[in-house]
Amino acid sequence: MRHPGRIILGYKIKIGLTVFFFLTFLSYFLIFILYVKDFPKNINFFFSPVVIFFIILLFIFTNLFNILRVLFLCRIFSKDVNFMDAYMFTLGGVLFALITPFQSGGLPFQIYLLSRKKIKPGKSVSVIFVRGIQSVLVLFLTLPFIMIYLKNVIQSDYVKNLLKYFLTLYIMIIPIFLLLIFFNEKIKKFFDQKFKESPVKKLLMYIVNFFSNFLSGIKDIFSVGFKENIISLFFTFLSLYSYSALSFFIIKFIGGNSDFFTSFSLQFLLIYLTAFVPTPGSSGVAEGGMAIFFNNVVGKENLIIYILIFRIFSTYIPAFLGLFSFLKIKEWKTIFPQNID
């Protein structure tokens, strides 16, 4: 008899994948209607061994360096974390980001994985948080050098609307986040004095203690784990740059003509513009952004083919590998379903 947790989680994964593929199909259909408008007739794939080699190499580098950046951050809190743990953390996170709104489903999965190494949830979130800070740092250090290649898209309605969305979202979230971090002890004392023992009080105290551990984890990462943090930041640069460089070689593979820095810069900016949107796996927003950014670079006939191939290497294959690694975990069917939401 199948474990009920396995049935529930399997059902949720199927629902998530169904929503993702529906939105993805809809986005490809809209791109076809708005941009392509006719079935491609003159696509000439360029089967150069050099181009194919670099596509595969950059795909490996993107994911390998992404795994290594996580590995070094996690080892600040537990030396028991090994490469396969970081592999499941990273690619399993891709899977659950693919099937949940705001790409948030990876968080409980990643917290559970690190809990197996006796890392507290608050400190697990500090790993995820610092990984995000590292990515933002890469953005600020890279943007001045690529702005010249972004002048045609930076003023587009797509970019302006996404920036407004992010600004609104962060204005809502950041004050609450900072309040729980910097007034943690005072909030804890207030709840302890004003609330009687009850499930509500337990929940509130759990949240406050969670942020206390989170703050402790941040301090450790930037003090005792400073060396590991720097190494992780180095791998962050390599991973994000490999991901962005992939676009140039895929354009070459479909017979397109683009200079390296233009395609690199456009894809680099798209990483951040599609990072925290409400649709599962950024479906729709990612494809739409690529259509707007690369329409004049790859040509209308090649547009859907380019987007499909890029998404296969950047998202679909890592998600499949994440699903495979997730199913290898023996305990997931009894523990993880309780935390999937």
Question: Which pair of structure tokens corresponds to residue 128?
Answer: 């995820």
CB 58 within 8 A of CB 249: yes
Return mean pLDDT, the chain: 79
The per-residue pLDDT for 297 is: 83
Burial of 191 (0-12, 13-18, 19+ CB in 10 A): middle
For 183-194, what is the mean pLDDT?
A: 74
The tens digit of pLDDT for each residue in 33-48 reads 766 656 555 566 667 8
pLDDT (0 to 100) of residue 299: 78
Tokens of 232: 């992780």
**pLDDT band of 236, cuts 50, 70, 90:** very high
The larger pLDDT score, comparing residue 302 to residue 60, is at: 60
Lowest mean pLDDT among 106-115, 274-283, 297-306: 274-283
Nearest to 221 by CA among 118, 127, 128, 134: 127
Give pLDDT tens digits for 130-167: 888 899 889 889 988 888 888 777 777 767 776 776 67
More confident residue, 329 or 129: 129
- Taking only the tens place, the pLDDT of each residue in 51-79 is 999 999 999 999 999 999 999 999 998 88
What integer is the mean pLDDT of 211-218?
A: 73
For the chain, the residue count is 341
Distance separating alpha carbons of residues 64 and 50, to the nearest angstrom: 21
Rg from Cα positions in the chain: 21
Place 270 in a pLDDT band, splitting at 50, 70 and 90.
confident
pTM: predicted TM-score of the whole model, two decimal places: 0.78
User: In the chain, what are the domain boundaries?
Assistant: 4-36+44-154+226-339
Q: What is the pLDDT of residue 290?
A: 84
Both tokens assigned to 92: 């399993």
Torsion over CA: 165, 167, 170, 175 (sign): negative
Burial of 106 (0-12, 13-18, 19+ CB in 10 A): buried
The contacts of residue 73 (CB under 8 Å, 6+ apart) are 127, 130, 131, 221, 225, 228, 229, 232
pLDDT, one tens digit per residue, over 102-115 is 666 667 778 888 88
Q: Which of 126-130, 163-167, 310-314 has the lowest mean pLDDT?
A: 163-167
Residue 184 host element (H or E): helix 184-194
CA distances for 97 relative to 85, 104, 170, angstroms: 18, 6, 19
